[in-house]
Structure 1
Amino acid sequence: MSQRRKFIKQSLLGSALFLPGVAASCAQTNEQKTPSGEKPLILSTWNHGLPANQDAWAKLNETGSILDAVEAGVRNTELDMENLSVGLQGLPDREGITTLDASIMTGDGSCGSVAFVRQIKHPISLARAVMEKTPHVMLAGEGARQFAIAQGFPLEEEKLSTKAQEAYDQWRITSQYKPVINIENHDTIGMIGIDAAGKLAGSCTTSGLAYKMHGRIGDSPIIGAGLFVDDEVGAATATGLGESIIRICGSFLIVELMRQGRTPQEACEEAVRRLIAKNKGIEDIQAGFLAINKYGEVGAFAVHPGFNYAKATAEGNVLIDSGSHFSK
């Protein structure tokens, strides 16, 4: 008898799906559970992301490759003489030497990076060469420079740009080393993108924290810290004080939180909370995160106000202010 009652109950439940309004209600529920985003989509950190996005979008239209796009986009910033946080024109270390870090990654796990490299105009392209032409993920210092020469990268004259030299001379008067929070206290451009088919890629390039100790490496070339990409989930990139980001493997953390069901925004906010918990003197630390999931949904969040990002879609290229844990 109990089996018969169970059978009748299941039959009634199944039949209910065909009653007027019930099927539509269930379909609506399923539709609501499907995230909605935009594809193709390109995101990049800070206001210098606007011209970077333009170049990335043009390259995506030209080649159809999201990897080509994220490389081309940040190459724009590497050549921007007005930018003192990326490229050879960037602010030097304490010894007056400009050293560069960069990383690039695709959603299938392919990745490459260079750290503490000198005299290379486009470290992002060198990082891609490491990814595509070596069995390694990262090359550093003189080894990265030698590889660049072997690959035909021209060596640039090791000379500070006019603006960097002026800033360095001023800094040497006191030679103090203490980050100061403002919207210009950043040391990278991070870019992540997704194409119409859902393929993801990301890039990150920097001249590093101004007046750092010679040999210091930040989060930008470290896969999982400054950048992480997974086609099955999404992508994330970071900006700000690299040491604080490395301590929590920030970009990897965000992607894993999205894998567990968090939205990009929820994942970025959680990453900021963990960063605050793991770093002392948070009042003097700025860091921000930018994320996208495989559906094209976006998230961004920072420790302090001032972080913004550029978003490029078929409808245009706009600069957006991120939210932050602390308010002004």
Structure 2
Amino acid sequence: MESKHTEFYPFYDPLYKEGTISYATKTGISLGFGAFYILLQYFSLPDKIVFFQQYCWILGVIISTSIMALYIATDVFRRSLVTMSEFEGDNRVSNQVVETWLNNKWYFFAGAILAISNTTIGHLLGVPGAVHDSAIALSIQYAGFTMAGFSAGMGVWAIVVIIVSYLKFAPSLQHSLDPNNPDGNGGIKKLGDSLWFFAMLTFVVGVLISIYMFGVQWEFMYKGYVRLLFIVWLALPYLVAISIVLIPGLAVRKQVNQYKSYKIGQLKQQKAQVYTSYKEFQEGDDDEIIATKKELNEKLNYIQEQMDKLKKMRDSHIDGKTKE
């Protein structure tokens, strides 16, 4: 990965002189990996009906979807980094997290860990006996587990780092929120929207994994510990999807709440001072008194307007709009 300021270009989506690779190319790469596995598995099976009965094609779809989701999420996160750096100013803590942990070394490591884990889980669940009729088909089945695990592992690692970067980023909101921003979220709405988008991508992959896991006739599902592994592995993508929204949301909510409480307290003090000023009029002609009252009324209206905006401002992306 090359990282300069808010730039983020991992090995699978590098930056060239002309820019990053096009989405047509990304789509071709994603579909290519999935189709490669599907074709190998289909032609390696002596009994072709097994390919459909054991949902082998779904595993290819999972591979393609995981890779494409990684491409899309990377592009969205680049834009989020730009927004985050604008809020952080010179203290770009979140960018430092990305530079340290979202490099190629950690991507490969995380991908390898989940690839090994996914292959091991598939083995423990028990590859259907029909696939065992061909050693080549069995090898390709395990290769499919590895490919799916590697692509998903990079995505899971990226989500973990994104969560950490948001936890580091949240304290900077105390000094940079803008209650006048029309997004109703102090200027960070698009950051929250990106987290919901990441969760949606993860959820889609999770649904495909669920379809596959329930569709395959695993050999060892009669064993208690295997059923437990099945449930844990089935729930993992949904837990990841919830975490990418909830954990940053709680951190942001805390900071926004503190910001709003502090600002509202300041405005209340200013409001009290303006009210006190009414009692401090010195003797003067009527025009002077009228002008002073008008100025004080304008200050009161402005203070009240700012307080209303703060109260209406959403605390985070996991909170609904405040009722008027």
**Do they superpose with TM above 0.5?**
no
Normalising to structure 2: TM-score of the pair?
0.27
Normalising to structure 1: TM-score of the pair?
0.27
More helix by share: 2
